[in-house]
């Protein structure tokens, strides 16, 4: 510092430090817990940061801190033109863009003015050449708000408007006082715009933090609801893999999000056999999960009437049609009877299951076709029956496996699945399921994010 500061200089320095610290805190809050499209803390931090930095370069504090007067004048001049932009963006975040986007256009015009003003100062070689636009801007802002109100524009719900108005009035009173002192329109020489800004900053900070806290509570509530939805969805899936004589079963379920649109069920039949279902609802998240719960109900109801896969899908389709819009369900339904050595199956727009009919048999695709569920009430589904001997393996899966994408945008695909099934036949059903999912993850890359839910059922006929 050049010499010692007087008491006013110390107060100004303290205020500058407080404002700059508030700016850093706002940026940290924005970065650590940013809500998509919520930029109140960002604009607040930028506004406070520009003002705080400007205070350190502005005389007399800049001179007390040893700042070269010429450099200080250029920095202060440039920040004077720029500081209004984050202020307007903060107001826009609260108020909205206004009638016919007038507030957004005013912000854009202010940004253009700042660039032109800085360029003019540089070309002429003199800071402060362009007049301070703040007074004109406040008048234009008032005109924009009044015009929008008269035209019927209503801003988003804004309970803190009185506090914001109070802060602006106090700050403007200090600004007008400083201008009046500079023009010698008043007998006193007291100037304290930074104190007015500090009061306004407190009001803006309270608004930003209250919004931030409210959104934090909303996120916590949504997170709790998602956990509840996940628990509910888990309850409709089989809790344990049932024991079926002559069949070794394994199932894997890896949802993309907390809740998913995939569904599977394994139901032992009275006497001999087991009914298997893998279904995939178009879309993701809660809407798909709700439809998946409908699939569960429709499958249970259909299975209570028949154990023929085609007939089950037909009943499920009639139940689901008209229950949702812009969505559909694919499904693979199979009934495996180990004593008879047969597999009956039907498909509704689902990827073809993979079958190895015996320990030494090759890999085939079960491609009996049918339309999506929930689209055509009159749709019918054909049941196909094929022989399966001891050592046979059936693989039902969702397209999260075959449509897994590598870094080069290559799909895992059905042919890779067939090759993997042939190579890994000696593994048990559970070990094969784990190995297949590991192979899919390795194919996509360790850093890749999955693009779809993954569901898998492996059923082996054992002696």
Segment 38-93, tens digit of pLDDT:
687 788 889 889 988 988 998 877 787 888 889 999 999 999 899 889 989 988 88
Q: What is the DSSP letter of 58?
A: S
Q: Is residue 232 part of a domain?
A: no
Q: Edge-to-edge, what's the strand order for the sheet holding 454-461?
A: 247-254, 454-461, 393-397, 354-356, 363-365
pLDDT band at 230 (very low <50, low <70, confident <90, very high): low
Q: Exposed, middle or buried: residue 132 (CB in 10 Å: 0-12, 13-18, 19+)? A: middle
Do 333 and 421 fall within a single domain?
A: yes
Q: Exposed, middle or buried: residue 314 (CB in 10 Å: 0-12, 13-18, 19+)? A: buried
Using DSSP, state whether 274 is helix, strand or coil. strand
Instruction: Answer whether 429's CB lies under 8 Å from 248's CB.
Output: yes
Do 214 and 108 fall within a single domain?
A: yes
Who wins on pLDDT, 264 or 287? 264
Using DSSP, state whether 455 is helix, strand or coil. strand
Looking at the predicted structure, is the pLDDT value of residue 216 above 70?
no
Question: Residue range 119-142: average pLDDT?
Answer: 87
Do 219 and 242 fall within a single domain?
A: no
pLDDT, averaged across the chain? 84
Do 364 and 452 fall within a single domain?
A: yes
Question: Residue range 129-143: average pLDDT?
Answer: 83
Instruction: Provide the whole-model pTM.
Output: 0.57
Q: Which two tokens stand for residue 95?
A: 């108020």
Q: Is residue 347 part of a domain?
A: yes
Q: In this structure, what are the phi and psi dihedrals at residue 71, rounded to the nearest 5 degrees? A: -65, -45
Beta bridge partners of 244: 247
Angle between helices 7-32 and 40-57 (to 10 degrees): 150
Taking only the tens place, the pLDDT of each residue in 344-354 is 999 999 999 99
Using DSSP, state whether 425 is helix, strand or coil. coil
Q: Measure the CA–CA gap between 254 and 208, rounded to whole angstroms.
A: 38
Q: Is residue 155 part of a domain?
A: yes
Do 282 and 204 fall within a single domain?
A: no
Within 8 A by CB and 6+ apart from 355, the residues are 343, 363, 364, 365, 366, 386, 388, 392, 393, 394, 395
Handedness of CA 17, 19, 25, 27 (dihedral sign): negative
pLDDT at 237: 78
CATH of the domain at 437: 3.60.40.10
Looking at the predicted structure, is the pLDDT value of residue 107 above 70?
yes
Do 156 and 11 fall within a single domain?
A: yes
Q: Measure the CA–CA gap between 148 and 152, rounded to whole angstroms.
A: 6
pLDDT at 452: 75
Q: Measure the CA–CA gap between 350 and 281, rounded to whole angstroms.
A: 11
Q: Measure the CA–CA gap between 296 and 262, rounded to whole angstroms.
A: 11
Instruction: Choose one of 197, 226, 255: the last residue of a domain.
Output: 226
Q: Measure the CA–CA gap between 321 and 329, rounded to whole angstroms.
A: 10
Question: Residue range 278-286: average pLDDT?
Answer: 81
Q: Measure the CA–CA gap between 160 and 196, rounded to whole angstroms.
A: 19
Do 298 and 214 fall within a single domain?
A: no
Number of domains composing the chain:
2
Instruction: Answer whether 347's CB lies under 8 Å from 332's CB.
Output: yes
Q: Is residue 65 part of a domain?
A: yes
Do 184 and 250 fall within a single domain?
A: no
Do 313 and 451 fall within a single domain?
A: yes
Q: Is residue 15 part of a domain?
A: yes
Q: Is residue 231 part of a domain?
A: no
Do 388 and 417 fall within a single domain?
A: yes
Q: Edge-to-edge, what's the strand order for the sheet holding 342-348?
A: 262-268, 274-281, 329-337, 342-348, 384-387
* C-alpha dihedral, 166 to 172 to 177 to 178, nearest 10°: 130
Q: Is residue 457 part of a domain?
A: yes
Instruction: Choose one of 226, 258, 278: the last residue of a domain.
Output: 226
Q: Is residue 105 part of a domain?
A: yes
Using DSSP, state whether 111 is helix, strand or coil. helix
Least confident window among 18-32, 364-378, 380-394: 18-32
Instruction: Choose one of 226, 246, 278: the last residue of a domain.
Output: 226
CATH of the domain at 158: 1.20.1070
Do 109 and 251 fall within a single domain?
A: no
- Spatial CA neighbour of 274 closest among 462, 58, 71: 462
User: Residue 261 belongs to what domain range?
Assistant: 237-461
pLDDT at 197: 77
Do 210 and 126 fall within a single domain?
A: yes
**Angstrom distances, CA of residue 298 to CA of 169, 176, 278:** 63, 72, 13
Q: Measure the CA–CA gap between 161 and 101, rounded to whole angstroms.
A: 20
């Amino acid at each position: 510092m050049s010499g010692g500061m007087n008491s006013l200089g110390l107060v100004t320095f303290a205020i500058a430090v407080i404002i700059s610290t508030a700016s850093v805190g706002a940026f940290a809050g924005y970065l650590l817990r940013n809500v998509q499209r919520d930029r109140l803390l960002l604009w607040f931090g930028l506004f406070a940061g520009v003002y705080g930095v400007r205070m350190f370069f502005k005389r007399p504090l800049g001179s007390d801190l040893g700042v070269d007067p010429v450099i200080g004048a250029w920095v202060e001049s440039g920040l004077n033109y720029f500081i209004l932009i984050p202020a307007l963006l903060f107001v826009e975040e609260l108020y909205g863009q206004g009638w016919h986007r007038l507030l957004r256009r005013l912000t854009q015009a202010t940004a253009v003015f700042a660039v032109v003003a800085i360029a003019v100062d540089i070309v002429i070689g003199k800071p402060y050449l362009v007049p301070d636009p703040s007074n004109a801007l406040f008048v234009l802002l008032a005109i924009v708000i009044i015009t929008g109100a008269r035209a019927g524009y209503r801003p988003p719900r804004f309970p803190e408007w009185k506090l914001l108005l109070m802060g602006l009035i106090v700050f403007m009173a200090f600004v007008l006082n400083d201008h009046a002192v500079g023009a010698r329109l008043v007998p006193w020489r007291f100037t304290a715009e930074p104190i007015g800004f500090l009061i306004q900053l407190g009001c803006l900070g309270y608004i930003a933090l209250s919004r931030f806290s409210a959104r934090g509570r909303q996120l916590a509530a949504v997170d709790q609801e998602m956990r509840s939805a996940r628990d509910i969805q888990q309850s409709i899936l089989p809790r344990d893999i049932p024991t079926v004589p002559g069949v070794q079963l394994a199932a894997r379920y890896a949802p993309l999000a907390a809740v998913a649109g995939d569904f599977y069920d394994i139901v032992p039949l009275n006497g001999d056999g087991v009914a298997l279902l893998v279904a995939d609802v178009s879309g993701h998240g809660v809407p798909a999960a709700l439809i998946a719960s409908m699939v569960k109900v429709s499958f249970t109801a259909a299975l209570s009437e028949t154990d023929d896969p085609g007939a089950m899908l037909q009943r499920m389709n009639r139940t689901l049609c008209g229950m949702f819009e812009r969505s559909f369900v694919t499904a693979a339904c199979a009934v495996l009877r180990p004593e008879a050595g047969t597999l009956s199956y039907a498909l509704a727009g689902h990827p073809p299951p993979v079958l190895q009919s015996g320990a030494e048999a090759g890999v085939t695709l079960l491609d009996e076709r049918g339309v999506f569920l929930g689209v055509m009430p009159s749709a019918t589904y054909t049941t196909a029956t094929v022989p399966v001997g001891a050592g046979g393996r059936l693989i039902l899966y969702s397209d999260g496996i075959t449509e897994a994408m590598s870094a080069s945008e290559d799909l895992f695909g059905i042919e890779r699945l067939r090759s993997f099934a042939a190579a890994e036949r000696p593994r048990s059903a559970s070990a094969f399921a784990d190995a297949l999912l590991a192979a899919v993850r390795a194919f996509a890359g360790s850093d890749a994010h999955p693009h779809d839910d993954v569901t898998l059922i492996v059923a082996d006929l054992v002696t």
